[in-house]
C-alpha cells in the first residue's frame, strides 16, 4: 500500500484514501479525515468512531451499520444523521479502517 501524506502525517492508504495500517490512526488525524469529507466531529460521532476502533481491534473486521446499531448501541437513524448518506463507509474512513465487508 502506498505511503501518502495527510495534513503532514505520513500514513499508508489504499487507492481510495482509506488508511490501511490500524496503528497509524490517531484522534487528531480522525479530525482531519472527517473535515475532508465534510463531517464535523461531535461527542456523538466519537462514540461511533471509538466503537468501530475497539470492535475492529477485537474482531478484525469493520463493523457494519447494523453492528454499530445493535452492538454499539447507536440507533440506525442517528447514524444516518451523523454521517449522512453513507454512514458505513464514512465511519470506517474516519476511524482509519477498511470499508465494512459484511452485507448487512
Give the residues lining the site for other proteins (CB under 8 A): 2-6, 10-11, 13, 15-18, 36-38, 65-67, 69-70, 75-77, 80, 84-90, 93, 102-104
Distance CA 39, CA 73 (A): 21
Distance CA 63, CA 104 (A): 10
Q: In the chain, what is the straight-line distance between the N-terminal and C-terminal CA atoms, in Å?
A: 27
| Min dist. Cβ of residue 84 to other proteins (A) | 8
| Min dist. Cβ of residue 67 to other proteins (A) | 7
**Active site annotation includes 14:** no
Q: What positions carry a catalytic annotation?
A: 103
Amino acid at each position: 500500500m502506498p505511503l501518502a501524506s495527510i495534513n503532514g502525517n505520513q500514513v499508508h492508504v489504499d487507492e481510495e484514501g482509506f488508511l490501511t495500517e490500524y496503528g497509524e490512526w490517531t484522534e487528531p488525524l480522525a479530525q482531519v479525515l472527517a473535515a475532508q469529507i465534510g463531517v464535523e466531529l461531535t461527542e456523538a460521532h466519537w462514540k461511533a468512531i471509538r466503537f468501530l476502533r475497539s470492535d475492529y481491534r477485537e474482531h478484525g473486521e469493520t463493523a457494519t451499520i447494523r453492528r454499530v446499531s445493535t452492538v454499539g448501541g447507536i440507533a440506525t437513524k442517528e447514524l444516518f444523521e451523523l454521517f449522512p448518506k453513507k454512514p458505513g463507509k464514512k465511519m470506517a474512513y474516519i476511524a482509519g479502517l477498511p470499508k465494512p465487508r459484511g452485507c448487512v
